[in-house]
Structure 1
Amino acid sequence: MHSKRVIIVAQVFISGMMAFLMTGFFSFLNLGFSVKTLGTWAAAFVIAWPVAFCLSLLVSPLAFMLAGRLAGPGRD
């Protein structure tokens, strides 16, 4: 298992990447490609990243527990 520090840093990267990709995807899906879309995407990302980070800290223990049960040792 990784140290608490590594897990927190990984959550920063994971939540940032997911917030970036998801806000971008839905901004382009709803608004199409335009200069306005880029501004909307940036504003959504600034809000979404801290929210995604906090939520990822809450759900990651559950996710790791479920992953361990489904794919842990002896599940090959």
Structure 2
Amino acid sequence: MNPKTIVIAQFFISGMMAFIMTGFFGFLHLGLTSEWLHEWAGSFVIAWPVAFVLSLGVGKLGFLIATRITGETA
């Protein structure tokens, strides 16, 4: 797969995961309140860049492990 495509995919994947995870765990912690919505926005802004950087490394490791298990080449 083209490295540019992988980075763009990781950008979207990390954004979606950060959005869902910060919303979900914020909801578990605060419940369905206006405070939850406010905290969710702030948490997402912090979480997305962190998730993107970490996903670049973890994604490579995940593909390495998957290709070793399946015997496919990356």
Gaps of 5+ in 2: none
What is the root-mean-square deviation of aligned Cα atoms in Å? 0.9
Summarize the alignment of residues 53-72 of structure 1 with structure 2, pairs less than 5 Å apart. Answer: 53-72=52-71
Q: How many residues align?
A: 72
Q: CA deviation at 1:70?
A: 1.9
Q: CA deviation at 1:72?
A: 3.6
Could you say which residue in structure 2 is the equivalent of 1:28? 27
- Residue type at the aligned position of 2:69: L
Q: Give me the TM-score of the superposition, normalised by structure 1.
A: 0.90
Q: Distance in 1 between matches of 2:63 and 2:41?
A: 31
Corresponding residue SS for 1:33: coil
Corresponding residue SS for 2:32: coil
Gaps of 5+ in 1: none
Q: Distance in 2 between matches of 1:36 and 1:49?
A: 20
Q: Distance in 2 between matches of 1:71 and 1:33?
A: 43
Segments ≥4 residues shifted beyond 3 Å: none
| Percent of residue pairs identical | 57
Could you say which residue in structure 2 is the equivalent of 1:4? 3
Corresponding residue SS for 2:28: helix
